[in-house]
Amino acid sequence: MSYPYQVQTIDEYKAAYDKSISDPEGFWGDIARHFQWKKPWEKVLEWNFKEPSVKWFVNGRLNITENCIDRHLATLGEKPAIIWEPNNPEERVRVVTYNRLHKRVCQFAQVLRNNGVKKGDRVCIYMGMVPELAYAVLGCARIGAIHSVIFGGFSAQSIADRLEDAQATFIVTCDGAYRGEKVIPLKSVIDDALVGNKTVKRVIVYTRTRTAVSMIKGRDVWWEDEMEHAESQVEKEGVVSFPAEEMDAEDPLFILYTSGSTGKPKGVVHSCAGYMVWTAYTFVNVFQYQPGEVHFCTADIGWITGHSYIVYGPLAAGATSLLFEGIPTWPDAGRFWDIVDRHKVNILYTAPTAIRSLMGFGLEPLQGKDLSSLRILGTVGEPINEEAWHWYDEHIGKGRCPIVDTWWQTETAGILISNLAGVTPAKPTYATLPMPGVQPLLVDENGVEVKGNPAAGNLCIRAPWPGIIRTTYGDHERCRQAYFSTYEDLYFTGDGALRDEQGNYRITGRVDDVLNVSGHRIGTAEVENAINMHAGVVESAVVGYPHDIKGQGIYAFVIYQGRAGDPDANRKDIVQTVSRLIGPIAKPDKIQFVSGLPKTRSGKIMRRILRKVAEGESSNFGDTTTLLDPAVVEQIAAGRL
Ligand code: WTA
């Protein structure tokens, strides 16, 4: 059995692509019919990019959890939905069948209801990578609450800002999370985030590490107690049920915060139906998933990749999704290969930064690991360099597994540009061709389309695909400004790209002030704001520089007039400040103290010069005549770290 909407040859791809452009409504209507609706849609698509306003499957009604779980029960009930690999390989693996997943999601939905959560309420989820995280996400979707998952690497302050922005009323967390040898005290971070918070009424705490936690009467409750109580409510004479809320196709499904070029993260909002169709369609086609296969996406559910390709996409396709709690280098650098071997993984989807870091350990960790179950490899998050691509191909895929280089963003919900494994050709370092329904184009700085091949420019998309961002939570104008105002009638990605003679796209990286550190988006303005909060800092400017493993490292130029003495100790104070305000993921790799920053007469920092310094350039800074004080450039270059 394959999927009715699975494209299996290059000719089918071309035909699907052509139809998706000439008749998008017919094309997506045919695909959406293969999902379960409570009420069919009246019109497939209504849109304009001016407001912007995008509506897919207008007035259709559904619940995504019925599509991800209930409709599979008759055929796949006893098949694994989730295989959970714990941090410690000696701990027991958990296999969650579709029946079990159904029961747990119904139970958790009941827990939410028992605690007063209603459709449309915002529920913040701050957990480690345990199956309960998936139950929490799906439990929210079951009752129509909007989940906002926050990655475990964000600090209390970051969480507080997100709770405030989303006006969240409910939190689901763990006592702690395992990460290799470390235990991260999640609940204690939540407690800090809640100081001064006025909206959160309830915190539910799942026990993972049995780390000591404070439990506040009337606010904090244990997951285990709540689930036990709910069990008898949802299970009657062996039959489990909890009604799935009837959602409008365009009702919000979740919020996920992401960095942009301003100092404040944006709450990207995705809707129920379009998101479901897009993640399922791209999952089945890009990875050419075959029923029964084990799909292992190594991302964290705190990022969009985990939302779309660990939880929703695979489950909507009735797949088996492997959920891994640990890190790739613990207990040793053979961890991924051990998991592939033991669970007979067929599809491995990871990030270039992970590949580069594992490459550094040589081939020894691969010894004795049987990787023959692998059929497809994938990458996501940043451009993959040639060396890493070939290592992945040769040593992991043994030259016989197609590699899909998947380009997409939090805002796009799922993959937009990628080869389809084994169906359309790969080209190392190229994401290659657009998915059906996606119309990429390149524009110059003036917004004029760069036609013909080869070409280079800023990457835009011409018309909506079902998974496009709908709004930024609580501030629609911000969504318009950030994505739909730079170029008229186009969605602007913020990325630069090249296009070769055959029309293959190669993403070259961000063209705005957003860094990509280990595949994680970090706005330079956010890091600057955090650095500037340090008592001794007058001003700062942050840029990226090439980093062997992380892809980009964070380089901060800081005017510092604080405490004298050991500059390294002062640097550490600044790093600590950033870690407190944003989280460890935003820690600067290098901090250079400078006496001034290269500013134009109008006061704008010339980042291009700082980027050159950070990249190691010592002359050739281009035109510096518009600078207020051109001499500062030489000083900065001379002091480079
Ligand atoms: C970058 C992650 C090159 C890009 C899914 C994009 C990539 C940003 C690729 C989105 C790729 C993602 N090749 N660059 N295959 N995939 N990017 O929102 O700059 O965390 O704009 O979504 O990552 O990051 P985000």
| Pocket perturbation via mutation, ligand 1, pick of 279, 405, 407 by most ligand atoms within 8 A of CB | 407
Q: Is the minimum distance from the CB of 152 to ligand 1 under 6 angstroms?
A: no
In b/e form, how buried is each residue of 480-493, taking b as 16+ CB within 10 angstroms? Answer: bebbbebbeebbbb
Distance 584 CA to ligand 1 centre (A): 20
Whole-number Å distance, alpha carbon 327 to ligand 1 midpoint, is 21
How far, in Å, from the CA of 157 to the mean position of ligand 1? 25
Which ligand 1 atom lies nearest to the CA of residue 406?
15
Q: Among 517, 172, 597, 578, which residue's Cα sits nearest to residue 356?
A: 517
Could you tell me where the DSSP H helices lie in 403-542?
Answer: 476-479, 524-533
Residue 602's pLDDT band (cuts 50, 70, 90): confident
Which pLDDT does position 622 carry in this prediction? Answer: 83
Span 196-205, mean pLDDT? 97
Ligand 1: nearest atom to the Cα of 379: 15
If we measure between CA atoms, which residue out of 348, 410, 357 comes closest to residue 379? 348
**Cα dihedral value 519, 523, 529, 530, nearest 10:** -10
Average pLDDT over residues 346-354: 97
The C-alpha atoms of residue 113 and residue 550 are separated, in whole angstroms, by 42
Is the minimum distance from the CB of 510 to ligand 1 under 6 angstroms? yes
Q: Is-contact 596 632, C-beta < 8 A?
A: yes
CB proximity list for 640: less than 8 A, separation 6 or greater: 592, 613, 614, 616, 618
pLDDT bucket at 603, cuts 50 / 70 / 90 = confident
Ligand 1 binding pocket includes 506 (Cβ within 6 Å): no
Parts of the chain belonging to CATH 3.30.300.30: 514-638
Q: Using a 6 Å cutoff on CB, does residue 410 contact ligand 1?
A: yes
- Looking only at the bridges linking them, the beta strands covering 239-240 and 235-236 are antiparallel
Query: Counting atoms of ligand 1 from 1, which one is nearest the CA of 431?
Result: 15
State the pairing for strand pair 440-443/403-406.
unpaired
Cα–ligand 1 centroid distance for 493 (angstroms): 10
Q: Is the pLDDT of residue 372 over 80?
A: yes
| The pLDDT of residue 211 | 97
- How many A from CA of 520 to the centre of ligand 1? 8
Q: Is the CB of 406 under 6 A from ligand 1?
A: yes
For residue 542 and ligand 1, the question of a CB distance below 6 A is answered with: no
Q: Using the mean position of ligand 1's atoms as its centre, give its distance from the Cα of residue 409 in Å.
A: 5
Cα(231) to ligand 1 centroid in Å equals: 41
**Dist. CA 356–CA 340, nearest whole Å:** 18
User: Considering only CA atoms, which residue is closest to atom 3 of ligand 1?
Assistant: 383
C-alpha of residue 102 to centroid of ligand 1, in Å: 32
Radius of gyration, CA atoms only, the chain: 24
- Every domain of the chain with CATH number 3.40.50.12780 lies at 10-63+252-510
Evaluate if residue 430 carries a pLDDT over 80: yes
Q: Which of 491, 493, 495, 504 to mutate to test the pocket of ligand 1 (most atoms within 8 A of CB)?
A: 495
Q: Establish whether residue 495 lines the binding site of ligand 1, counting it when its CB lies within 6 angstroms of any ligand atom.
A: yes
Q: If you search the block for the tokens 């997943």, which residue do you land on?
A: 101
Give per-residue pLDDT as tens, 48-82: 999 999 999 999 999 999 999 999 999 999 999 99
Tell me the CATH number of domain 514-638, given options 3.30.300.30, 3.30.1050.10, 3.40.50.1820, 1.10.1740.10: 3.30.300.30
Ligand 1 pocket member 300 (CB < 6 A):
no
Ligand 1 center to 503 CA (angstroms): 19
What does the alpha-carbon distance between residue 54 and residue 461 come to, in Å, rounded to a whole number?
14
427: confidence class by pLDDT, cuts 50, 70, 90: very high
Please tell me the distance from the alpha carbon of residue 308 to that of residue 545, in angstroms, as a whole number: 29
Distance 408 CA to ligand 1 centre (A): 5
Mean pLDDT for 92-113 is 98
Tell me which DSSP letter residue 584 carries: G
pLDDT score for 326: 97
| pLDDT for res 140 | 99
Cβ neighbors of 620 (< 8 A, separation 6 or more) are 612
Nearest ligand 1 atom, CA 405: 15
Q: Does ligand 1 lie within 6 Å of residue 521's CB atom?
A: yes
Q: What is the pLDDT of residues 274-318, one digit of tens each?
A: 999 999 999 999 999 999 999 999 999 999 999 999 999 999 999
Side chain identity at residue 179, one-letter code? R
Q: Of the residues 521, 550, 552, which should be mutated to test ligand 1's pocket, given the most ligand atoms within 8 Å of the CB?
A: 521
Give the mean model confidence (pLDDT) for residues 479-492: 97
User: For position 2, what pLDDT does the model report?
Assistant: 79
Q: How confident is the model at residue 530 (pLDDT cuts 50, 70, 90)?
A: very high
Residue nearest atom 8 in ligand 1 by C-alpha distance: 409
Q: How far is the CA of 380 from the centre of ligand 1 (A)?
A: 7
What's the rounded mean pLDDT across residues 438-449? 96
379 CA to middle of ligand 1, Å? 10
Give the count of beta carbons closer than 10 Å to the beta carbon of residue 319. Answer: 27
CB atoms near residue 420 (< 10 Å):
29
Does the Cβ of 313 fall within 6 Å of ligand 1?
no
- Only one residue has tokens 């020894």, namely 364
244 CA distance to ligand 1 centroid (A)? Answer: 33
CATH class entry, domain 10-63+252-510: alpha beta
* Ligand 1 pocket member 507 (CB < 6 A): yes
pLDDT digits (tens, 9 = 90+) for 139-188: 999 999 999 999 999 999 999 999 999 999 999 999 999 999 999 999 99
Q: What is residue 43's DSSP assignment?
A: E
407 lines ligand 1 (CB under 6 A): yes
Establish whether residue 220 lines the binding site of ligand 1, counting it when its CB lies within 6 angstroms of any ligand atom. no
Q: Ligand 1 centroid to 406 CA: how many Å?
A: 8
What is the chain's mean pLDDT, rounded?
A: 96
Pairing of strands 505-510, 491-499: antiparallel
Q: Which atom of ligand 1 is nearest to the CA of 510?
A: 19
C-alpha 627 – ligand 1 centre gap (Å) = 33
Helix H or strand E segment including 76: helix 73-76
Asked whether the bond before 52 is cis by omega within 30 degrees of 0, the reply is yes
- The confidence band for 1, taking pLDDT boundaries of 50, 70 and 90, is low
Q: At what angle do helices 10-22 and 24-32 cross, to 10 degrees?
A: 120
Q: Would you identify the CATH topology of the domain 66-245?
A: Rossmann fold (3.40.50)
| pLDDT exceeds 70 at position 373 | yes
How far is the C-alpha of 306 from the C-alpha of 312, rounded, in Å? 9
516 pocket-lining for ligand 1 (C-beta < 6 Å): yes
| CB-ligand 1 contact for 304 (6 Å cutoff) | yes
Are 575 and 549 in contact, with CB atoms under 8 Å apart? Answer: no
